[in-house]
Amino acid sequence: MAKKTVDDIQVKGKRVLVRCDFNVPMKDGKITNDKRIVAALPTIKKLIADGGKVILCSHLGKPKNGPEEKFSLAPVAVRLSELLGQNVVFANDDNVVGENAKAAVAAMKDGDVVLLQNTRFRAEETKNGEAFSKDLATLADAYVDDAFGSCHRAHCSTAGVTAYTSPNVAGYLIGKELSIMGKALENADRPFVAVLGGAKIEDKLNVINNLLEKVDTLIIGGGMAFTFLKAKGYEVGKSLLDESKIDYCKDMMAKAAEKGVKLLLPIDTVCAAGFPDPIDGPVDVCVVDSDKIPADVEGLDIGPKTRELFAEAVKTAKTVVWNGPMGVFENPTLAQGTLAVAQAMADSDAVTIIGGGDSAAAVEQMGLGAKMTHISTGGGASLEFLEGKTLPGVACLDEK
């Protein structure tokens, strides 16, 4: 079902609590990358323009025992004020909804913006404690969730609060995630190709299983491919291998055959004597066929023939979803596989969706982000979405 968004509600004169993702990287109290703050601007500006009283909240980092100065959202308030061209009042309460917050909200005029302190300064935030959910709700006449990266977690500020607020709607970021990723999974333009990579097969078990129900072609690269190669009876040398998942891989290959899904695995592999140390340091490599990996080497990227094979499959697609790099993309010598997939997607006319996390980082690093239809803002959340799971921070929003 489609969820209501900020376009479906009237906010003039109302206090609107907006859950944003301001979990930005910080160094020595300075924001080193403000991309997440910039991404939140369209929703915030819309609510300001409509005359809402905009109360923003977010977590930052993982404070262990309550408030920690280094996790304060104060620098975010400063940056937001600059980006919006208007003052953002920072309500600095250790208990998040304290005297400062209450006074700041009481003094608001239509179009004003207040930022609350880090929601994780309250220990019960991550436990979805009722008292904190109720406290947050006392500040709000309406609730907007725009933090896709946190909506796979049932926390006070992402789910609990909605039991005491109404209406509860999606911001533009979550709205876009739901419409683009939702369409891909439920009603994709075909051929539909999914590319999965990354190190651990463990993380992608349910994703593989769910995508085999939906796609025409499933491409598997990265460290997780070696367990599949082993399941085919090949030697994988010192490559990453999850012995406990060999039978699972056999089952998935059988399922693909039964569903008529093309399952593509690497046909050649870039190997080295060991993992590069440092990760981006020089490394001597050799290229071997994937069924002939020598016992004393480790596979660290897909080879040139595989790059071509995978790129061809991507080029024929109308919809492509990609989650997880093809190799150790942090190393220039071992980034070629990941770059080949990113380039094929960038050159394609298909709907191209990057499922967060390392793939998003790789695409940005390679300067190809602007060529993609959609780059998901949530790593864990987009994985659970691809698994077909219900996300608590989405389930609690009002249906259209």
What CATH number is associated with residue 261?
Answer: 3.40.50.1260
Q: Are 40 and 21 in contact (CB under 8 A)?
A: yes
- pLDDT at residue number 203: 85
Q: Is residue 393 part of a domain?
A: no
285 domain-assigned: yes
Query: Using one digit for the tens of pLDDT, what is the confidence trace for 234-266?
Result: 999 999 999 999 999 999 999 999 999 999 999
User: Which residues of the chain have a pLDDT value below 70?
Assistant: 1
Lookup: tokens for 318: 């109308």
From 144, 125, 143, 141, select the one nearest 133 (Cα to Cα). 125
Residue 46's pLDDT is what? 98
Q: Which pLDDT does position 102 carry in this prediction?
A: 98
Indicate if 144 and 21 belong to the same structural domain. Answer: yes
The reply to whether 301 and 371 lie within a common domain is: yes
Catalytic residues: 36, 200, 357, 380
Q: What is the pTM of this model?
A: 0.87
At residue 89, the pLDDT reads 98
Contact yes or no for 60/71 (Cβ under 8 A): yes
Q: Same domain for 12 and 124?
A: yes
Does residue 58 share a domain with residue 123? yes
* Whole-number Å distance between alpha carbons of 151 and 378: 9
Alpha carbon distance 222, 196 (integer Å)? 8
Residues 228 and 361 in one domain: yes
The pLDDT of residue 227 is: 97
Q: What is the pLDDT of residue 44?
A: 98
For residue 396, being part of any structural domain is answered with: no
Span 268-318, pLDDT tens digits: 999 999 999 999 999 999 999 999 999 999 999 999 999 999 999 999 999
Q: Looking at the structure, do residues 166 and 194 belong to the same domain, yes or no?
A: no
Give residues with Cβ within 8 angstroms of 44, minimum separation 6.
18, 20, 54, 56, 80, 84, 113
Q: What element of type H or E holds 45?
A: helix 35-49
pLDDT given at position 85: 98
Q: Residues for the chain: how many in total? A: 400
| 399 in a structural domain | no
**99 and 68 fall within a common domain:** yes
Quick one: 167 and 25 in the same domain?
yes
**Res 357: pLDDT:** 79
Does residue 362 fall inside a structural domain? yes
Query: Of the candidates 112, 139, 173, which is a domain's last residue?
Result: 173
Query: Which 8-state DSSP code applies to residue 197?
Result: -
In a shared domain, residues 158 and 239: no
The DSSP H or E segment spanning 169 is strand 168-170
Rounded Cα distance, 40 and 83, in Å: 11
Domain tally, the chain: 2
69 and 143: one domain?
yes
**pLDDT value of residue 1:** 64
Within-domain flag for 108: yes
The reply to whether 242 falls in a domain is: yes
Q: Residue 52: what are its φ and ψ, rounded to 5°?
A: -80, 160
Q: Which residues are registered as beta bridge partners of 320? A: 193, 352
Secondary structure of residue 359 in the 3-state scheme: helix
Domain containing 129 equals 6-173
- Residue 356: its pLDDT value, please? 72
Q: Indicate the residue among 138, 173, 208 that finishes a domain.
A: 173
Helix (H) or strand (E) holding 323: strand 319-323
Phi, psi at residue 124, to the nearest 5°?
A: -75, -5
Query: Of 152, 173, 194, which one is at a domain's C-terminal end?
Result: 173
pLDDT at 64: 87
**158 & 47 share domain:** yes
Do 199 and 169 fall within a single domain? no
Q: Is residue 106, in this structure, part of any structural domain at all? A: yes
| Cα→Cα distances 166→14, 42, 71, 137, 158, Å | 11, 22, 30, 10, 14
| pLDDT score at 205 | 86
